[in-house]
C-alpha cells in the first residue's frame, strides 16, 4: 500500500498535492507566456521551452506545484522562474518527494525503491537530454535520490541549490538518508548557496565549488507601501506557518516580547498549521490587539497586509533566510528579527531592519519599542529595505547569475 502510494507520486496523472492553477500561472510567468511551452501530462509537470536542451529542475522536499504554501515552495517556484528566464529554459522533470519526516528505516527503503522507479521512468520520458540538472534543497530528511543517477547517466553538470549537511545526522534515525544526502552533495559539480552558513558543513563531505546567490523575488509583484498610518498606532505583521519546532519557537518569542511592550500596537498574524492551538493560546492575553488571518494563498491579499503594516515582526528562529523578509522589504517594510542563520543576508541591521542577538527576548522587545516610538526611523528603514531588494535580491539579477554559472559548467565540460 505504502509503495503503491509513493510510486503514484511519480506516475499518477491526478495529484492531490499539486495546485494545478498555481502551477500553470507560475509557468506562464516564468517562461514569458504559453507560446514558449507545451504542457503535457501534469504528473510530469513538463515545461518545453524554445531551447533544445532545457535545464532539468527537481525539488525533493516540496515541488513548485505543491498545494501547501511554504517558504520552501516559494523558493522552488522562484528558482524555476529564474532558470526559465535563462537562455536554456527549464523543465520540472519530477514531482517525486523523498521526504522521510520521522526517520524510519522501512519508509526510507520504500522511498528509495520508488526513487529507482522514477529514475527508470526519466531515462525514457524526456524528449531530449537536458543541459544540466538542478536540484533545490538536498538535506538529510529529503535527499536527492534522482539527480546523481540522472546527471551521471546523461553526462551533464549536476548543480545543487541550498543543500546542507549536519554531521550529527550521520548517526541516529536519519543516518541512511543523511548518507544519501552527503553522497549527492559530494557529487555535485556546483553548490549554489543562499545562506553562506551552509558552506562549512558541505565542505566536510568534500564539496569544493560554491556560488553565493542572494535569495530573490520579483519586486514588481509586491507593491510598495505608500503611506504610514495617520494615527500613532504601530501595525505589526507576522507571517509564518504554525508548526512545532522553530516556527512555534518564533511565535513564542514574539509573544514573550510583546508582553512587556508599552505603547499602541496591533498585530496581524498570517499562517496556520498543526500548532495553531498553541499559537492562539500564546497570544490570548492580548485579546483585541491580535488579528488571525489564517493561511493566505492569494498573493494580492498578502501584499495588502504588507502594505497596511508598519513593521514585519518575525524572530525567525533558525531561519535559513526567510522569504517573508524579502516580501516585506519589497513592499517597503522594515523587519525586526533575530540574527539567526541567513536572516542577516536579507535584513541589514540598522539599515533595512533591526536584528537582535539570538534568543535575546529583551533585545528583541527593545528593537520593537525603538520602532514603535520613531515613525521616521521606520520609514527610512523601509525605503532602504526596498532598495536592497531591487539592487541585490531581484529575479532578473538571479537569472543572469544562474545563466553565467551553468554556461560556464557546460563550457568546461566541452573543453
**Strand positions, DSSP E, 88-142:** 90-92, 133-136
d(CA 293, CA 366): 26
The full set of domains in the chain, from first to last, is 2-216+395-414 (3.40.50.2000), 219-392 (3.40.50.2000)
d(CA 251, CA 313): 10
What per-residue confidence (pLDDT) applies to 193? 94
What per-residue confidence (pLDDT) applies to 71? 82
Contacts of 188 (CB under 8 A, 6+ apart): 158, 159, 160, 163, 207, 209
Mean pLDDT of the 47-76 span: 82
Contacts of 278 (CB under 8 A, 6+ apart): 242, 248, 251
d(CA 84, CA 48): 10
Mean pLDDT of the 44-53 span: 47
With a cut of 60, say whether residue 349 has pLDDT above it: yes
What per-residue confidence (pLDDT) applies to 229? 56
pLDDT in tens, 8-18: 444 333 334 44
Q: Would you say 196 and 166 are in contact if contact means Cβ atoms under 8 Å apart? A: no
Minimum mean pLDDT among 11-20, 235-244, 298-307, 341-350: which range?
11-20
Q: At what angle do helices 361-372 and 375-392 cross, to 10 degrees?
A: 110
What per-residue confidence (pLDDT) applies to 227? 61
d(CA 355, CA 128): 48
CA angle at 96 for the pair 94 and 97, rounded to the nearest 5°: 135
The owner of cell 524526456 is 126
CA distance readout (Å), 27 to 1, 188, 249: 33, 26, 35
Q: Would you say 342 and 267 are in contact if contact means Cβ atoms under 8 Å apart? A: no
Share of the chain above pLDDT 70, in %: 86
Model confidence band, residue 59 (pLDDT cutoffs 50, 70, 90): very high
Rounded to two decimals, the pTM is 0.74
Q: Would you say 89 and 50 are in contact if contact means Cβ atoms under 8 Å apart? A: yes
pLDDT in tens, 150-203: 999 999 999 999 999 999 999 999 999 999 999 999 999 999 998 888 999 999
SS (H, E, C) 338-352: ECCCCHHHHCCECCC
Model confidence band, residue 223 (pLDDT cutoffs 50, 70, 90): confident
Residue of 295, 55, 285, 40 lying closest to 190 (CA atoms): 55
Minimum mean pLDDT among 34-38, 138-142, 344-348: which range?
34-38
Share of the chain above pLDDT 90, in %: 75
Distance spanning both ends of the chain, measured CA to CA: 49
Contacts of 22 (CB under 8 A, 6+ apart): 65, 297
Q: Would you say 324 and 311 are in contact if contact means Cβ atoms under 8 Å apart? A: no
What per-residue confidence (pLDDT) applies to 40? 29
What per-residue confidence (pLDDT) applies to 224? 83
Per DSSP, the residues of 134-166 read: EEE--BTTB--SSHHHHHHHHT--EEEES----
With a cut of 60, say whether residue 50 has pLDDT above it: no
Q: How far is CA 160 from the centre of its chain?
A: 14
Per DSSP, the residues of 231-278 read: SSPEEEEEE----TTHHHHHHHHHHHHHHT--S-EEEEEE--STTHHH
Mean pLDDT of the 365-376 span: 96
Amino acid at each position: 500500500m505504502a509503495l503503491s502510494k509513493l510510486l503514484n507520486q511519480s506516475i499518477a496523472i491526478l495529484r492531490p498535492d499539486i495546485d494545478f492553477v498555481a502551477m500553470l500561472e507560475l509557468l506562464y510567468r516564468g517562461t514569458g507566456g504559453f507560446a514558449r511551452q507545451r504542457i503535457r501530462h501534469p504528473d510530469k509537470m513538463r515545461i518545453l521551452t524554445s531551447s533544445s536542451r532545457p535545464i532539468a529542475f527537481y525539488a525533493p522536499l516540496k515541488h513548485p506545484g505543491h498545494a501547501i504554501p511554504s517558504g520552501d515552495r516559494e523558493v522552488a517556484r522562484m528558482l524555476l522562474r529564474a532558470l526559465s528566464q535563462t537562455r536554456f529554459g527549464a523543465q520540472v522533470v519530477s514531482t517525486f518527494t523523498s521526504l522521510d519526516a520521522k526517520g524510519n528505516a522501512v519508509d526510507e527503503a520504500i522511498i528509495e525503491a520508488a526513487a529507482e522507479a522514477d529514475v527508470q521512468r526519466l531515462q525514457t520520458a524526456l524528449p531530449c537530454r537536458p543541459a544540466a540538472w538542478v536540484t533545490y534543497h538536498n538535506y538529510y530528511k529529503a535527499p536527492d535520490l534522482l539527480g546523481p543517477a540522472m546527471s551521471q547517466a546523461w553526462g551533464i553538470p549536476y548543480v545543487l541549490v541550498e543543500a546542507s549537511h549536519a554531521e550529527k545526522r550521520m548517526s541516529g534515525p536519519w543516518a541512511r538518508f543523511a548518507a544519501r544526502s552527503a553522497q549527492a552533495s559530494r557529487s555535485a559539480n556546483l553548490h549554489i548557496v543562499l545562506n553562506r552558513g551552509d558552506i562549512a558543513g558541505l565542505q566536510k563531505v568534500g564539496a569544493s565549488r560554491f556560488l553565493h546567490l542572494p535569495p530573490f523575488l520579483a519586486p514588481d509583484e509586491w507593491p510598495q507601501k505608500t503611506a504610514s498610518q495617520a494615527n500613532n498606532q504601530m501595525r505589526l505583521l507576522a507571517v509564518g506557518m504554525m508548526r512545532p519546532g522553530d516556527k512555534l519557537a518564533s511565535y513564542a518569542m514574539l509573544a514573550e516580547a510583546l508582553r512587556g511592550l508599552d505603547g499602541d500596537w496591533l498585530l496581524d498574524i498570517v499562517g496556520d498549521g498543526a500548532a495553531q492551538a498553541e499559537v492562539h493560546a500564546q497570544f490570548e492575553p492580548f485579546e483585541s490587539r491580535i488579528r488571525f488571518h489564517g493561511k493566505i494563498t492569494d498573493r494580492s491579499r498578502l501584499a495588502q497586509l504588507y502594505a497596511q503594516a508598519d513593521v514585519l515582526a518575525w524572530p525567525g528562529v533558525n531561519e535559513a533566510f526567510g522569504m517573508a523578509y524579502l516580501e516585506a522589504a519589497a513592499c517597503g517594510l522594515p523587519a525586526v528579527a533575530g540574527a539567526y542563520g541567513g536572516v542577516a543576508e536579507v535584513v541589514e541591521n540598522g539599515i533595512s531592519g533591526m536584528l537582535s542577538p539570538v534568543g535575546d527576548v529583551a533585545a528583541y522587545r527593545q528593537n520593537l519599542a525603538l520602532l514603535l516610538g520613531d515613525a521616521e526611523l521606520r520609514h527610512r528603514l523601509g525605503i532602504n529595505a526596498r532598495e536592497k531588494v531591487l539592487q541585490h535580491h531581484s529575479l532578473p539579477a538571479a537569472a543572469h547569475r544562474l545563466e553565467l554559472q551553468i554556461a560556464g559548467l557546460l563550457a568546461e565540460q566541452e573543453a
